[in-house]
Structure 1
Amino acid sequence: MTALLEVCELRKTYGPVTAVDGVSFTLPHGGALGLVGESGSGKTTTARMLVGLERPDAGTIHVLGQPLAPSVRDRAARLARAKAVQIVFQDPYLSLDARLSIGATVEGVLRLHGHHDRAARAARVRALLAQVGLGGREAAALPRQLSGGQRQRAAIARALAVEPAVLVLDEAVSALDVSVQAQVLNLLADIRRDSGIGLVFVSHDLAVVRYVCDEALVLFRGRPVEHRPMTELLTDPQHPYTRLLLGSVPHPGWNPDDIAQRRRTLSASSASARA
């Protein structure tokens, strides 16, 4: 079976800075991959290239065997790309119009993608919001009238409206309270199980990624350093940076000074190797 998503040797530079270098992975149908790393690791740049917000300097992206063009100009091509890959950002205000109710926002996406029957659109809006645990009250509300967790659920419903093959989630739960994080993570697991959609979950937190993903690709300074199933990555990390990420999670006996020293040592070693 053709892979859902194939990414090969993506590279992106900004002047003298290499943000992403040599990122490759394959996502099967219904699969979930975590892109893991701290700020500056290249994970968000990779996510933005997947959805066309950044143009790679090199490398290819295929969805269901079809290449995604580095850039698209005509309306039909933009809609096709949006249907292939959708993204949910950390801040849902980036995808929710503050002037429109949640229901109107989701309906607008459906209308844009060719759902012309008004009654059918309304029924689809209700179904999408119900899928993410929102009802009529939330449909009539403006984004500012909802909680952070409700806004993120609405952003997910908006992304699902076009029935994408792949859903990219860029730090989509990092700004939420722990209890709300759990609710959204459970929601994503349910959506994946019920729809077969592929998930690319971008996060700095391996403890969060483990609840959603089958495997993880760890990025350090733009380069992949470890790509393994989650169970193996968590129990037997091979790369010093992966061990640093795991060690950064507070636990009994945790010493932040030790973590800081390990990070400095790793950074110095990386700089020396690049030189």
Structure 2
Amino acid sequence: MTGSVTRTSGTTGDKGADAVDATLEVVDLCKAFGGHRAVDGVSFTLAPGGSLGIVGESGCGKTTTARMLVGLVSPDSGSIRVGGRERSAPTRNRAERLARAREMQMVFQDPYLSLDPRVVVRECVEEVLRLHFDLTREQRTARVVELLDQVGLGEREASALPKALSGGQRQRVAIARALAAEPKVLILDEAVAALDVSIQAQILDLLAGIRRDAGVGFLFVSHDLAVVRHITEDVVVLRGGRVVEAGPTVDVLTEPRHTYTRLLLDSVPRVGWDPARIAADRRALEREAGGSSGD
């Protein structure tokens, strides 16, 4: 089963917008690794400045989908368009690779692994500007200050190596570096999962402000339904590489139609939570699907 999400209003204010005006349009995306079909016919759209969550348990295909969007994994079939321009085909030269990199940037779960430990924060961000824009040194310096200020970091952090920063500060650096490319879409792959709850809230509030002020679209990949509920307008639920439910976040997470979505919601611990019942419901769902939950 495939599904799609198309917003025609929301943050753009253009109630007559059509899917062709979407910042990101994904159609029937597929990827297999050997005999394992990791992504199977996934489709969705993201409006300019919109926010979309992709949720599901481990192995559902959400991270593989995100990696195909930014070009880290090549799709077997399907279409990926940004601003109406196809980007599924291989790039032909360095200029095309840089242009695609600018369109979509990704923030990973562990920022330390994505930052050069030998380079101070200021230079981490400046390198992106040097790569994508024809700026003078003075212009780059001013822009780095602006970007770090945007994510709540100052001169002390700018002069520090990544190892000297906290996890939350490193994630702020990763966000600043991604924003330096001025992307149309920012993909956040479990970007707050490794942070303490209090730091998660700070980063989520920061991201909400950035989306409001910069107009960048967010694609939020997460297994944490509370986080997705807080930061996204629409959501796509994946199971076994397929879309089983999609729609406005408040509707899908309040009144889910699919059994699997209800199971995800019921799996969140709370007062009166019964893990034995959840396990039994999961076994019943797997029997109903012919044991395909691991696809």
* Structure-1-length-normalised TM-score: 0.97
Tell me the CA shift for residue 273 of structure 1.
7.2
Give the secondary-structure state (helix, strand or coil) at the position aligned to 1:60. Answer: strand
Asked if 1:220 corresponds to 2:239, the answer is: yes
Preserved contact between residue 244 and residue 259 of structure 1 (Cα < 8 Å):
yes
CA distance in 1, matches of 2:118, 2:285: 47
Correspondent of 2:154 among 127, 135, 145 = 135
1:13 maps to 32
CA distance in 2, matches of 1:156, 1:270: 39
CA distance in 2, matches of 1:191, 1:257: 41
Asked if 1:82 corresponds to 2:135, the answer is: no
Preserved contact between residue 286 and residue 292 of structure 2 (Cα < 8 Å):
no
Corresponding letter in the other structure for 2:94: R
Tell me the CA shift for residue 272 of structure 1.
5.2
1:33 maps to 52
CA distance in 2, matches of 1:79, 1:246: 40
Corresponding letter in the other structure for 1:4: T
Aligned residues: 275
Correspondent of 1:178 among 187, 197, 202 = 197
Preserved contact between residue 74 and residue 88 of structure 2 (Cα < 8 Å):
no
CA distance in 2, matches of 1:166, 1:192: 10
Tell me the CA shift for residue 236 of structure 1.
0.5
Preserved contact between residue 52 and residue 70 of structure 1 (Cα < 8 Å):
no
Give the secondary-structure state (helix, strand or coil) at the position aligned to 1:210. Answer: helix
Corresponding letter in the other structure for 1:10: L
Query: Runs of 4 or more off by more than 6 Å in structure 1?
Result: none
Preserved contact between residue 62 and residue 68 of structure 1 (Cα < 8 Å):
yes
Preserved contact between residue 238 and residue 245 of structure 2 (Cα < 8 Å):
yes
Preserved contact between residue 37 and residue 204 of structure 1 (Cα < 8 Å):
yes
CA distance in 2, matches of 1:78, 1:178: 36
1:144 maps to 163
Q: How does 1:1-275 map to 2 (within 5 A)?
A: 1=17, 2-271=21-290
Per mean C-alpha deviation after superposition, the further-off stretch among 7-16 and 86-95 is 86-95
**Superposed CA offset, 1:98-125 (max 9, x none):** 1001111000111011333001000000
Corresponding letter in the other structure for 2:68: M
CA distance in 1, matches of 2:290, 2:241: 13
Give the secondary-structure state (helix, strand or coil) at the position aligned to 1:176. Answer: coil
Preserved contact between residue 214 and residue 230 of structure 1 (Cα < 8 Å):
yes
CA distance in 1, matches of 2:88, 2:259: 36
CA distance in 1, matches of 2:32, 2:292: 19
**Superposed CA offset, 1:161-197 (max 9, x none):** 0100000000000010000000010011001000111
Structure 1 unaligned blocks of 5 or more = none
Corresponding letter in the other structure for 2:117: A
Corresponding letter in the other structure for 2:79: T
CA distance in 2, matches of 1:273, 1:181: 33
CA distance in 2, matches of 1:250, 1:153: 29
CA distance in 2, matches of 1:71, 1:171: 27
CA distance in 2, matches of 1:26, 1:81: 18
CA distance in 2, matches of 1:130, 1:198: 20
Structure 2 unaligned blocks of 5 or more = 1-16
Q: What is the alpha-carbon root mean square deviation over aligned residues?
A: 1.4
Corresponding letter in the other structure for 2:30: R
* Structure-2-length-normalised TM-score: 0.90
CA distance in 2, matches of 1:271, 1:78: 42
CA distance in 1, matches of 2:50, 2:35: 35
